[in-house]
Amino acid sequence: MNQRPALSGPDRLLASLDEGLRTVFGKPAARRPSPADGVAHDEPLAPQEQRLAGALMRVNHVGEVCAQALYQSQAMFSRSPALRAHFAQAAQEELDHLAWTRQRVEELGTHTSWLNPFWYGGAFALGSLAGLAGDRISLGFVVETERQVEQHLASHLERLPAGDHASRAVVDQMRDEEARHADEALQAGARLLPPPVRGLMKLAARVMTGTAHYV
């Protein structure tokens, strides 16, 4: 059976640009059903609870926009075809997360972040730098990113209204899968990032989540 030829550098760039436009301006379709589909109907939320849940899910949607940018850019600059395939598989799971969070944002009657093009562009630049630094550093960037996202999602499980079963089901499964992505990157040979870099990543994430909560 003939294998498809590997994409050239320019072709990978064009494919990444296409994925970026779809991520920011399109409405992605999940390959897997949303975890929210299998839960009991939500209890009626008070207006302030609905606003909080909508804001938290908007932040989570921004995180998935950034995840697409990171995995696309890191795959583009990876030296290893096997690692590019690894990034592509992780990006597909994150695409499900993107669709699930967008669906939940709409169900809660609010909007996705108006700054999504900016978030995508910034994340793509960071992922490109990580990719250019080498595959082990790039994998270390994945480990740190996913560990921070896992902690962030755990905090959202504490803050989401108890009656918002649908959002909680989505966030719970996302948290488990983000933790697995970090473990897989470690097993693939990640080099852990130094503390100053991890601190800068946390600061950038704090700015992003604080802004996306409202905008």
Report the predicted TM-score, pTM, of the whole model to 2 decimal places. Answer: 0.90
pLDDT for residue 41: 66
How many whole angstroms separate alpha carbon 152 and alpha carbon 206? 10
Q: CB–CB of 101/170 below 8 Å?
A: yes
The helix (run of H) or strand (run of E) holding residue 208 is: helix 195-212
Domains of the chain: 46-212 (1.20.1260.10)
Place of tokens 């969070």: 101
Residue pLDDT, tens place only, 71-105: 989 988 888 888 888 888 888 889 999 999 999 99
For residue 183, count other CB atoms closer than 10 A to its CB.
Answer: 14
Q: CB–CB of 163/49 below 8 Å?
A: yes
